[in-house]
Amino acid sequence: MRRVAQETPAGVPLAQRASMQVVEPGERFELESGAHLSPITVAYETLGELSRTKDNVILIAHALSGDAHVAGRYRPDEAAVGWWDDFVGPGRAIDTDRYFVICSNVLGGCRGTTGPGSINVATGRRYGMSFPTVTIGDMVRVQARLLDRLGIDRVAAVIGGSMGGMQAIEWAISFPERVGSAIVIASTSRLSAQSIAFNAVGRNAITSDPRWCGGDYYDNGEPLGGLAVARMIGHITYLSDSSMQEKFGRALREAEKLSYGFDSEFAVETYLDYQGAKFVERFDGNSYLYITKAMDYYDPAAECSSLAEALAPSKARWLVVSYTGDWLFPTAQSRELVDALLVGRKRVSFVELESAYGHDAFLLEYEPLATIVSGFIQSVRDGKK
C-alpha cells in the first residue's frame, strides 16, 4: 500500500538540522585512494531524543539521490517532508518516540557535506574535479567521525536502501564493535556490470554537456541538461516495466493525437522530463559523478578470497530485504550476501517482498517493510535470536 505523507502531528518535535566539522583544517584525513582531504564538514539531521545510556541510536544511510533530510519538517509551516517520512517518525517503523535517529549527507555530496562544490581552502575556489575520489568506505569513516563528535560509541542499527545498504554493509565490516544490527534493503555488496554501465552513461551525459567545462562550471552556469538526462536514465532503472506500463502505457499527456514531431508527448516522456527538471534544482552534476563512481568501486570482497571472508569481522545481526520487481539490484544479489553471511555463521534474516514498483519499492510501499523492520529491531533490542 502506498501512502501520501501526512502532516506532522501537533506537538511532535521537528527534525533538527545541523552541521559539524569532523576533520579540522590542516588535519590529514587519508582517503582509500591515498589522497588526503581537510577540512571536512558534515551536514546531518536528528529526530527523537537520545536516551541517557545512548543505546537507542539508529543511523540511516541515504541512497544516491537522497540527503540528510530523512523525515519530518524543519519548520511547522514547511510543506515538504523528508524522503522517508512514511517510514521514520512517531509511531512509525523507525519510531522516533523510542529511537534517536541520525542521518547525514554523504562525503562528496552537495547538501551541506564537503564535496566537489565546496570551497577548497587552499585555493579559495570550489574544488570541482580537483576534489579527490571518494569511496563508500570513506563515506562511512566520515560518518563514524560524526558519531565520535556526538559522543555516540555504538548504534542499535544501521539501516539503508540502495547505496545506503552498501554503507550499512561497510559499517558492519569496518566498525563491528559499534553496530548492533545492519539492515540492508534493495541493495548489493557490489554492482553488476549492467549497473556500472548505467552509471557510466549517466556520467557521460553530464560530462558531454557543453556547460560542464571540465567540472569548473560553478561561476558560469551548471550542466543542467546533462544532469537531467542522467536523472532520467537513473529513474528508468528505479522503476519496473509493469509499473511503467500500468502508470503510463502509451497514453499521450495532453494531445488527442500524435504530433509526428520530437517534443515530449507520451505521458512517460513528460514524466521523465519532470523528474529531470526537479532533480537539477537540488543536485550538483559533479557530486553525481563522484557518488556514482563510489558505488561502482564498492566491493568489500575485492581483496579477500570470498565475500564470506570480507564479512567475517561483523558482529551484527543482519536483516536483508529484496523486492521481486527490482531488476536493478535483483534478489539474486541479496541472496549472495545472505549466503555469504550464512557461510560465516552470522545471524541473518532474509525477506523477499512482492512488489511491482521496482527498485523504488522501499520508498513507495511502506507497510510490508515497516512490519518487518520494526519487528526485527525490537527483537534485537530484546536479545532474541
3-state secondary structure at position 107: coil
Per-residue H/E/C for 224-247: HHHHHHHHHHHHHHHCCHHHHHHH
CA-CA distances (angstroms) from residue 97 to 50, 72, 89, 113, 373? 10, 13, 8, 27, 16
Q: Quote the CA–CA distance of 263 and 252 in Å, as a whole number.
A: 12
Determine the residue type at 323.
Y
Q: Is 162 a catalytic residue?
A: yes
Distance CA 348, CA 337 (A): 10
- Selected catalytic residue, list 326, 334, 355, 360: 326
d(CA 380, CA 318): 10
**Do 70 and 82 form a contact (C-beta atoms < 8 A)?**
yes
Q: Exactly one of 162, 187, 189, 314 is catalytic; name it.
A: 162
Q: List the catalytic residue out of 181, 287, 359, 360.
A: 359
Residue 187 among the catalytic residues: no
The answer to whether residues 316 and 180 touch, using CB atoms and an 8 Å cutoff, is yes
Residues in the chain: 385
For the question of residue 36 being annotated catalytic, the response is no
Q: Could you tell me if 163 and 295 are in contact, meaning their C-beta atoms sit under 8 angstroms apart?
A: yes
User: Which residues does the annotation mark as catalytic?
Assistant: 162, 326, 359
